[in-house]
A and B are shown apart, each in its own frame.
Chain A
Amino acid sequence: MTRTIRIGSGGIGAGDRVEPGVTLANSGFVDYMGYDCLAERTLALAQVRKVADPSAGYDERLPKILQLMAGFIGSGGRIAGNFGAANVDAAGSVTADQLRSLGLGGTRIGLIHGDDVLDAVKAADCELPERGCRISDVSDRLISAHAYIGAGPVAACFDDGAQFVIGGRIADPSVWVGAICHALGWPLDDWDRVATATLVGHLLEGGIGRRPGADVSLPLGYPLATVTEDGAVEISKLPGTGGPLNVPMAKLSLAHEIHDPTRYLTPDVVADVAGVWFEQRGDDRVRVHGATGSAPTDTYRVLVGLDLGWKVVGEVSFGGPGCVERARRQADEMRKLLANYADVVDETRYDIHGVDALFEDAYQGGYPADCRLRVASRVLTRDAADEIADVYWRLYGQGGGGVTRMIDRNIGVTPALLPRNAVDIEHEVISA
């Protein structure tokens, strides 16, 4: 009999809503669920939480997801995700505790380690091309470095009997690739198969119905894929959920955040998706064809988290005739004031936005009835942030109102490349 996997998308980014995935898991239409829980900044922020509290730094939705997925897990469903963020061990321990309290003691949990490569990027003194410097130039600002790791350890955890697999910075599509290759017995060096699985993961992690102009009805459904051993792929979604799943939508999902389509680089493969094409096979069912692959590059992409100080943002509104001109005069005023702080301010930008926030329907003078000046500065220290926020009180100057001021940490992430042989990935399977 031809082996088949039915796998769903449970989440497509940091802090995503849990409900669509739960609905999908509990539908009986899928055997596996994949979760991508991380956006680019998520790991650096998680690392900051972990430094403040060694038991934190994982995806805080985890206990809730486990609770809502208890039925799926109890009936043998399998789940993989990068829930661990910066703290896979803490995520594993929370997962074990929660599974036991749900009466699912004994469930096997896979844990994946090795994506934290802070020491390795320091040792290699990696180049940071977007910042035009090397690691050693920003050593006092380093927060984190995480390599995008591949599907191998995910598949290995499932091979070793895990039902719930937790990693840190597993690359978005690799979460699904690991499950698919495990379930279908696809070797991880069969590049065309791995490219096909990567395309499936890519389409699932992009979700559906989130594109401009989409005629989206609610509740939005998350997609699922049916993949057979011979490489046939169909993407679909649950009946009765919203978000059209058609060829135009699939094309946009295909192109989502891929750069050169002949070289879609993941830790698992260099996938060529330029020749991918789709075929509508019924309502909300699309067949997927045409991915090919070759061996991955010999480097891992790494995101390096940097403490770049603070952002200070202030706003003020002006209304009625001449509001835009007064906002511009206020911006000029702020430029003059902030010129005195050039030694602590890296950069300031000025924007004016707004339409009808002040007067409801009382003003009949046409658009804009008001506008809002936004001033945003980047500074290096908290003291400087406080000082600049004080200057922002002067936003009250040209008769404007509703001044707000906000100070935020400026945690940046920037890419780097690290040789594969500098990264040791390990997995283990524990019992809840």
Chain B
Amino acid sequence: MKLWEVADFSCGDKADVANLSAFPKDEAHWEAFKRELTADKVKAKFGSLVKGTVTRYEYTASKGLNFVCTGALDGGVSISLRVDPHGKSYGDLFGDIDIDI
């Protein structure tokens, strides 16, 4: 199953840091999310796009995960040579992650 099928998700940028957040559409999937959606998995998915680290944080009450990726935006929106310097499209790649529910 793909993450986009079972999650509400989004992404954002601050300088050279991107963050990706995912909340299970069905809260019954929360435990599976925590098990399946690891920082290592996100880091592997983004490959060479993320040059720094990926750290995972939890929204305990609203049941969501937030991944903070450093060195993720080719120097940041103002410096990057990429087509999408904000990484606004990162949500599309994030949503393509396989998740076993």
Residues of A within 8 A of B (CB): 39-41, 44, 130, 211-213, 248-249, 251-252, 254-262, 273-278, 290, 303, 308, 311, 313, 347-349, 351, 353, 374, 376-378, 410-415
Q: Contacts A254-B62, A275-B60 given: A212-B78 contact, CB under 8 Å?
A: no
- The 8 A-B residue pairs whose C-beta atoms are closest, nearest first, are A255-B21, A257-B12, A376-B81, A277-B61, A412-B79, A252-B10, A41-B78, A275-B61
Q: Contacts A40-B15, A351-B83 given: A259-B59 contact, CB under 8 Å?
A: no
Enumerate chain A residues within 8 angstroms of B68, measured Cβ to Cβ: 259-260
Query: Quick one: CB contact mask for B40-63 with A, threshold 8 Å, 1 for yes?
Result: 000000000000000101111110
New A-B pairs, 19, CB < 8 Å, besides A255-B66, A413-B76: A41-B77, A212-B91, A212-B92, A248-B25, A257-B13, A259-B17, A259-B57, A260-B55, A261-B57, A261-B66, A275-B60, A276-B59, A290-B61, A311-B81, A349-B81, A353-B83, A411-B78, A413-B15, A414-B76
Q: In whole Å, how far is A124's beta carbon from the nearest beta carbon of chain B?
A: 19
Determine whether the beta carbon of A212 is less than 8 Å from that of B95. yes
Q: Contacts A40-B78, A251-B8, A275-B61 given: A130-B15 contact, CB under 8 Å?
A: yes
Enumerate chain B residues within 8 angstroms of A260, measured Cβ to Cβ: 55, 57, 68
Determine whether the beta carbon of B10 is less than 8 Å from that of A212. yes
- Docked pose: A349 CA to B81 CA in angstroms: 7
- Docked pose: A44 CA to B77 CA in angstroms: 13
Q: Contacts A275-B61, A290-B61 given: A256-B78 contact, CB under 8 Å?
A: no
Please name 16 pairs of A and B residues whose Cβ atoms are closer than 8 Å in the assembled complex, sorted by A: A40-B15, A40-B77, A44-B78, A211-B8, A212-B9, A251-B62, A252-B23, A255-B19, A255-B66, A259-B66, A260-B55, A308-B79, A410-B79, A413-B15, A413-B76, A413-B78
Interface size of B in residues (CB-CB distance below 8 Å): 35
- List B2-48 residues whose CB lies under 8 Å from chain A: 4, 8-10, 12-17, 19, 21, 23, 25
Determine whether the beta carbon of B58 is less than 8 Å from that of A256. no
- Docked pose: A321 CA to B4 CA in angstroms: 33
CB-based nearest A residue for B69: A259
Q: In whole Å, how far is A132's beta carbon from the nearest beta carbon of chain B?
A: 11
Determine whether the beta carbon of B60 is less than 8 Å from that of A256. no
CB-based nearest B residue for A263: B57
Q: In whole Å, how far is B14's beta carbon from the nearest beta carbon of chain A?
A: 6
Determine whether the beta carbon of B8 is less than 8 Å from that of A261. no
Enumerate chain B residues within 8 angstroms of A347, measured Cβ to Cβ: 81
- Docked pose: A415 CA to B76 CA in angstroms: 11
Enumerate chain A residues within 8 angstroms of B77, measured Cβ to Cβ: 39-41
Determine whether the beta carbon of A255 is less than 8 Å from that of B10. yes
Enumerate chain B residues within 8 angstroms of A130, measured Cβ to Cβ: 15-16, 75-76
Enumerate chain B residues within 8 angstroms of A41, measured Cβ to Cβ: 77-78
Q: How many A-B residue contacts, CB cutoff 8 Å?
A: 115
Q: Contacts A213-B8, A277-B61, A278-B62 given: A257-B19 contact, CB under 8 Å?
A: yes
Q: In whole Å, how far is B24's beta carbon from the nearest beta carbon of chain A?
A: 10
> Per a CB cutoff under 8 Å, which of B4, B13, B58, B79 touches A213?
B4
Q: In whole Å, how far is A331's beta carbon from the nearest beta carbon of chain B?
A: 14
Enumerate chain A residues within 8 angstroms of B60, measured Cβ to Cβ: 274-275
> Per a CB cutoff under 8 Å, which of A40, A213, A258, A413 touches B19?
A258
Enumerate chain B residues within 8 angstroms of A377, measured Cβ to Cβ: 81
Enumerate chain A residues within 8 angstroms of B57, measured Cβ to Cβ: 259-262, 274
Determine whether the beta carbon of A40 is less than 8 Å from that of B8. no
Enumerate chain A residues within 8 angstroms of B13, measured Cβ to Cβ: 257
> Per a CB cutoff under 8 Å, which of B16, B59, B92 touches A274?
B59
Enumerate chain A residues within 8 angstroms of B61, measured Cβ to Cβ: 274-277, 290
- Docked pose: A260 CA to B78 CA in angstroms: 24
Enumerate chain A residues within 8 angstroms of B25, measured Cβ to Cβ: 248
Q: In whole Å, how far is B1's beta carbon from the nearest beta carbon of chain A?
A: 16
CB-based nearest B residue for A378: B81
Most chain B Cβ neighbours within 10 Å, of A274, A349, A376: A274
Determine whether the beta carbon of B15 is less than 8 Å from that of A414. yes
Determine whether the beta carbon of B78 is less than 8 Å from that of A251. no
Determine whether the beta carbon of A254 is less than 8 Å from that of B81. no
Determine whether the beta carbon of A255 is less than 8 Å from that of B64. yes
- Docked pose: A287 CA to B83 CA in angstroms: 39
- Docked pose: A277 CA to B61 CA in angstroms: 6
- Docked pose: A213 CA to B16 CA in angstroms: 25
